[in-house]
Amino acid sequence: NNSKGDSRGALIVLEGLDRCGKTSQCSRLLPSLEGLGHSVESWRFPDRNTGVGQMISAYLSNQSQLDDRAIHLLFSANRWEKRSLMEAKLKSGTTLIVDRYSYSGVAFSSAKGLDLQWCKAPEVGLLAPDLVVYLDISPEKAAERGGYGGERYEQLEFQRKVAQSYHTLSDASWKIVDATLPIEDIETQLKEMAVDCINTCKNGKSLSHIWS
């Protein structure tokens, strides 16, 4: 695969509670991987630029009300509408650093009390990440970080439930990083993990599907 020059990019996902520092780390990881000569793009879910994304954004800012299952399916649809582009990018050799993915979808909705298997079902068939990094912070510490922005889920009690859901969802393949370390230390760890992952994908690891 490598020798034919058609090696693929890696799908790298960052997950964690609100205010865990994912977004800052994604924006640091992008230039640092580019600096090593990799083709990289930074993505995020929800992608608020699509029609579905605008509905999600209105819901999160409390401008609209939606049934818990309806909003769950919109978050999922927002990933499905990007799936083919995601696959094309990866196959063309571009690595994607993705700020939240299906795990957020399931963790946040199941924290509302929705059944875990029901929450996972619409995600089945999306591309599986090659690396999931969980930026680990206690809900209390996260809440102390400059306060929440006021979106719907940014409340301590709810984030405690989300943390439990993430815990239930996580498996041995997840890399857990202490999100309370200095920014530069987290950055160094992430870069190392990402480079390893990119090399594994280059060396022929095939793309697979999530939860199937």
Residue ranges binding ligand TMP (CB under 6 A) = 18, 45-46, 60, 75, 100, 104-105, 108, 153
Quote the CA–CA distance of 112 and 139 in Å, as a whole number: 16
Instruction: State in angstroms the smallest separation of the CB of 80 from ligand TMP.
Output: 11
CA 115 to chain centre: 21
Of 8 and 82, the one with the shorter C-beta distance to ligand TMP is: 82
Instruction: State in angstroms the smallest separation of the CB of 204 from ligand TMP.
Output: 30
Sheet holding 40-44, edge to edge: 40-44, 95-99, 11-15, 131-136, 175-178
Of 108 and 166, the one with the shorter C-beta distance to ligand TMP is: 108
Instruction: State in angstroms the smallest separation of the CB of 175 from ligand TMP.
Output: 19
Element of type H or E holding 131: strand 131-136
Q: For the chain, where are the alpha helices, taking DSSP H only?
A: 22-35, 51-60, 68-91, 102-110, 116-120, 139-144, 156-169, 183-202
Beta bridge partners of 44: 99
Instruction: State in angstroms the smallest separation of the CB of 203 from ligand TMP.
Output: 30
Of 89 and 103, the one with the shorter C-beta distance to ligand TMP is: 103
- For residue 187, CA distances in Å to 33, 80, 135, 176 come to 11, 29, 11, 13
Quote the CA–CA distance of 71 and 64 in Å, as a whole number: 11
Of 123 and 198, the one with the shorter C-beta distance to ligand TMP is: 123
Instruction: State in angstroms the smallest separation of the CB of 123 from ligand TMP.
Output: 9
Of 99 and 130, the one with the shorter C-beta distance to ligand TMP is: 99
